[in-house]
Amino acid sequence: MCSLLWREFAELEKEELYALLKLRADVFILEQRSFFQDIDGQDQAGLHLLLLDREERIIGTLRLLPGAQGRSVTIGRVVLAPSARGRGYGRRMLVAALEEIARRWGRSSVHLSAQSAQEKFYAGFGFSRVSDPYDDAGIEHIDMRLDRS
């Protein structure tokens, strides 16, 4: 059974930070061959969700970035290790993210930049496309929003 753990950036242990950055690099840069600056200076303002396997290794992560006065929140850097895919963990992580947003910021609107191939996944949670497709580091993306007001 996997567990979920929320961490503010300052609460991340060195090993956790290393593991989540390595996972993001392994998937986004190496597997997807998307060459971009993943370490973008925004992690420090984020709330990080860690998905831990039975051995307490990080096999998934995402971050929440609140906007001004918490009126909007951006979900980003959603990633699962290849071994964790197809088991419902992505759904579990997104449910946890939406619950945490509601708990911390109420009925804030939620934004994300989704790989176009994941549009149906996010639409299943009520997200709507709000942009035309665009290239983001060699992968087609769309902007999506969930209004909860």
pLDDT for position 1:
79
pLDDT for position 13:
97
Q: How do beta strands 72-80 and 109-115 pair?
A: parallel
Task: Tell me the pLDDT tens digit for each residue of 78-133.
Answer: 999 999 999 999 999 999 999 999 999 998 899 999 999 999 999 999 999 999 99
141, 61, 78, 65: which is closest to 108 by C-alpha? 65
**Structure token digits, residue 132:** 């035309």
DSSP SS3 for 138: coil
Backbone phi, then psi, for 119, in 5-degree steps? -55, -45
Q: What is the CA radius of gyration of the chain?
A: 15
Task: Tell me the pLDDT tens digit for each residue of 53-81.
Answer: 999 999 999 999 999 777 899 999 999 99
Distance, CA of 19 to CA of 49 (rounded, Å): 13
Neighbours of 60 (CB within 10 A): 24
